[in-house]
Structure 1
Amino acid sequence: MEKNVNLKFLTHTALIAAAYAALTYAFAFMSYGQVQFRVSEILVLFAFIEPKYGLGLVLGCILANFTSPLGVIDVVVGSFATLIAILYIAAIRKTFGYNKKSMYLASLGPVLSNAIFVGLELTYLFQTPFLLNALYVAIGEFVVVTLVGTQVVNAVMKNSALSERLTIN
């Protein structure tokens, strides 16, 4: 049984990483830079459904950022911001449970994490004001993760068959 769980974990991790990277590449025109709407960030909320997806999400972010016009710094900073966001999401789920209200609260983790870390990265790279960079990144994250992503994840949560299939035991 343990072998099946490990295979399922590896398969889900690879699929999540590939989906994150593919969505970032598909929407590259709006996935990088000072103003970004990274559609792949919707997937970060899948860590609310199954916290074990965190590894796949970080790997997907690393893969996606290899082609970033911002360079290797985006691989490090962006992936770190994703890791912090996932830890926040998992902590919210553990503390407040698996429900719609805590999912909305969890959606703010990626907004804050990316605003801070990517905002600092953009300030360093472009010598532009941190608060402006953080605001731009936060707006993009809020639209994608909080406004759109929560609707997607809420629909998954309502579908017990799909939600169960996404769980790794």
Structure 2
Amino acid sequence: MNVRYLTKASLIAAIYIVLVMIQVLPFPLANLTFGPIQLRLAEGLTLLPLVEAAAIPGLFVGCLISNLLLAAYSGFGLIDIIGGSVVTLFAAYLTSKMKNKFTGMIPPVVLNGVIVSIWVSYFTKIPYFYTVLGISAGELVSVVIFGNLILYVYEKATNFKEY
């Protein structure tokens, strides 16, 4: 790893944290960052591993720090702090192996929906199936809208550098 790679990973982690914090500050939106329906704006960053390898550790660290800082909001404890972050790491790695942005959307949506729903369903007492639907739908919206926007901006910035 070189300085450039670490810098990019750190910036992506910082952006993830800021996006989660911005969403939590107006308290009514805090319920959308944790729980049976999750619409984290920061999850749009999960498409970045398609075009940037440093996004893999950046997303993991950003998610880990966000979950740690906001553990009081979630109420799910250590399982969410570590488990949610590891799911993000695995999803980011799998996304980096995908061929295009459409297949790249599959790992974060499916893994978060299927795995994170296990403990969210348990703690909220909402049936697993409904929790999977809520988390997957929120993740899909985040990835489709914000992820594509982030990829567009990233690609424009990369093309701008070439001139």
TM-score clears 0.5: yes
Amino acid at match of 2:42: S
- Equivalent residue in structure 2 for 1:6, among 2, 5, 9: 2
Q: Residue 139 of structure 2 is aligned with which of 126, 130, 141?
A: 141
- Structure 1 CA distance for aligned equivalents of residues 57 and 42 of structure 2: 15
Unmatched 5+ residue regions in structure 1?
97-101, 165-169
Aligned to 1:99: none
TM-score when scaled to structure 2?
A: 0.84
Does 2:86 align with 1:80?
A: yes
Other-structure match for 1:58:
60
Equivalent residue for 2:115, pick from 96, 114, 117: 117
Q: Where do 5+ consecutive residues of structure 2 fail to align?
A: 25-29
Moved more, 110-119 or 155-164: 155-164
* Separation in 2, partners of 1:136, 1:126: 13
Can you list the C-alpha shifts for 1:11-54, whole angstroms capped at 9, x where unaligned? 11111111111111110212112212100011111111112320
Counterpart of 2:23 in structure 1 is 27
Q: Which amino acid aligns with 1:87?
A: Y
SS of 2:97's equivalent in the other structure is helix
Cα distance in 2 between the residues matched to 1:163 and 1:105: 27
Counterpart position of 2:128: 130
Q: Would you say the 8 A contact 1:34–1:137 is kept in 2? A: yes
Aligned alpha-carbon RMSD (Å): 1.9
The equivalent position to 2:159 in structure 1, one of 154, 161, 164, is: 161
Check whether the contact 1:81–1:113 (CA below 8 A) recurs between aligned residues.
yes
TM-score normalized by structure 1? 0.81
What is the identity percentage for the equivalent residue pairs of Structure 1 and Structure 2? Answer: 28
Distance 1:65 1:162, change over 3 A: farther
Change (3 A) 1:104 1:158: farther
Report the secondary structure of 1:43's partner residue. helix
Matched, 1:106 2:104: yes
Q: CA contact under 8 A between 1:157 and 1:163: conserved in structure 2?
A: no
Flag as ranges the 4+ runs of structure 1 deviating above 3 A. Answer: none
